């Protein structure tokens, strides 16, 4: 029975997202079905084979190395902060952006990143039927957070039309950051975290194809290369990259502080009318039917719905800490779907981070596309997490 509910959940989520699509006739189902089949094969490969886990770990190791390099620079300036066992969000997740932006800008300077985008995007686009840049972005955001991933392709974003800019905003809701991967692994089972990472990216491609179908001609499906006249010398380039990274850190920091504070303020107002009522509890009630469709018994479904509400209103860290304290009391299927669902940045503060990134690397006029389509970002982020959890749930009982 629960297995059938799990399968039904996939169709229900896809159906709801399709009903939300403003351009249903433009949705192409053949590449979507191909991506779903690919997801099932990948999930089996990762959860059912030893070599699958080894491959994902090697990829993760590279991005962990990037973060370690960034930490060296941060520790030089803030040695006391980095010496703590628990590093603050500012030092652990935001400041590494400065190095990561610089690193990938160096690759762009020598044409390496442009080549990778072109070839890697071409390979994925053969399955997804989406443009090269969108396809590459889905790979890139597996271990780079939404802000870092967007910063890496900011030259490409600067020449795109609004409809494609919205595509990247929607997809960014489903990414994670390599800088906090270690924190995830300290709280929840590693195999489900690593399973969620590629599934989130493929599901982001699927759902953006439904929520924001965009037709790109062969002439438009090119990787932008800045003209030589705009190319600065090497040291000017990396110095500018560091300043861009620092500007992003400041903007994102302001957005995160503001959104978390607004949530606390809203909870205080709700508590005046109903004692103990919070926005987290409201979201938990809304998501309880979806938790049941994860193939969970009623008691577990209500608990996972509670985690969903916590994640959306605050962040996945708070929800994972709660899950960590209850791992010994939960069955394997519940642990698998809950962990997979929580492994992404889909919450309200992430929208602020995406808007802040657009505002810092593009014009204010272009970044307005995010503010006008907040509901699409929320629907996509939650639907991607649900689909990933449901697919993993099919393989773990």
What pLDDT digit, counting tens, does each position of 22-45 carry? 888 888 888 888 888 888 888 888
pLDDT in tens, 317-345: 778 888 888 888 889 999 999 999 998 88
- pLDDT, tens only, 247-279: 778 876 777 777 778 888 888 898 888 888 888
C-beta separation of 93 from 177 below 8 A: yes
CA nearest neighbour of 377 among 360, 341, 343, 352: 352
Q: Is the pLDDT of residue 2 over 80?
A: no
CA distances 204 to 45, 121, 183, 212, 232, Å, are 20, 15, 23, 11, 35
Distance CA 230, CA 311 (A): 43
pTM of the model: 0.77
Taking only the tens place, the pLDDT of each residue in 153-208 is 777 777 777 788 888 888 888 877 655 666 677 678 878 888 888 888 888 888 88
**Beta carbons of 370 and 351 less than 8 angstroms apart:** yes
- Which is higher by pLDDT, 395 or 233? 395
The percentage of residues in the chain with a pLDDT greater than 70, rounded to a whole number, is 87
What is the rounded CA–CA span in Å between residue 355 and residue 386?
24
Task: With CA atoms as reference, report the closest residue to 388 among 354, 349, 339.
Answer: 339
Return the higher-pLDDT residue of 158 and 380.
380
Per-domain residue ranges of the chain: 1-217+234-394
Residue, of 68 and 391, whose pLDDT is higher: 391
- Determine the pLDDT at residue 102: 83
C-alpha Rg value of the chain to the nearest Å: 20
């Amino acid at each position: 029975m629960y297995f059938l509910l799990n399968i039904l959940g996939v169709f229900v989520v896809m159906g709801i997202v399709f009903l939300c699509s403003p351009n249903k006739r433009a949705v192409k189902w053949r590449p979507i079905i191909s991506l779903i089949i690919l997801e099932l094969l990948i999930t089996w490969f990762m959860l059912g084979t030893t070599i699958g886990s080894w491959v994902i770990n090697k990829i993760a190791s590279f991005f962990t190395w990037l973060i370690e390099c960034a930490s060296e620079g941060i520790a030089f300036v803030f040695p006391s902060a980095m010496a703590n066992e628990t590093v603050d969000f500012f030092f652990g997740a935001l400041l590494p952006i400065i190095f990561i932006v610089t690193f990938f800008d160096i690759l762009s300077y020598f044409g390496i990143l442009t080549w990778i985008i072109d070839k890697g995007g071409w390979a994925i686009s053969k399955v997804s039927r989406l443009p090269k840049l969108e396809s590459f972005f889905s790979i890139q955001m597996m271990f780079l957070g939404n802000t870092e991933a967007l910063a890496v392709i900011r030259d490409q974003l600067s020449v795109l039309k609004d409809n494609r800019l919205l595509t990247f905003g929607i997809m960014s809701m489903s990414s994670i950051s390599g800088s906090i991967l270690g924190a995830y692994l300290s709280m929840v089972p590693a195999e489900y975290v690593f399973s969620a990472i590629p599934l989130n990216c493929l599901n982001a491609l699927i759902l953006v194809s439904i929520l924001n179908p965009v037709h790109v001609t062969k002439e438009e499906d090119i990787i932008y290369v800045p003209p030589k006249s705009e190319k600065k010398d090497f040291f000017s380039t990396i110095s500018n990259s560091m300043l861009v990274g620092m500007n992003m850190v400041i903007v994102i920091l302001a957005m995160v502080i503001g959104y978390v504070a607004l949530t606390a303020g809203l909870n205080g107002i709700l508590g005046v009318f109903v004692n103990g009522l919070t926005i987290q509890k409201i979201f938990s009630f809304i998501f309880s039917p979806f938790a049941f469709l994860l193939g969970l018994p009623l008691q577990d479904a209500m608990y996972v719905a509670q985690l969903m509400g916590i994640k959306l209103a605050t962040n996945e860290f708070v929800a994972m800490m709660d899950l960590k304290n209850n791992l010994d009391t939960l069955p394997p299927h519940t642990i698998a779907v809950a962990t997979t669902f929580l492994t992404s940045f889909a919450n309200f503060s992430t929208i602020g981070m995406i808007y802040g990134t657009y505002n810092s690397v593009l014009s204010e006029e272009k970044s307005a596309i995010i503010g006008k389509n907040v509901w699409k970002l929320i629907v996509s982020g939650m639907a991607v997490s649900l689909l990933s959890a449901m697919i993993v749930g099919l393989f773990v009982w």
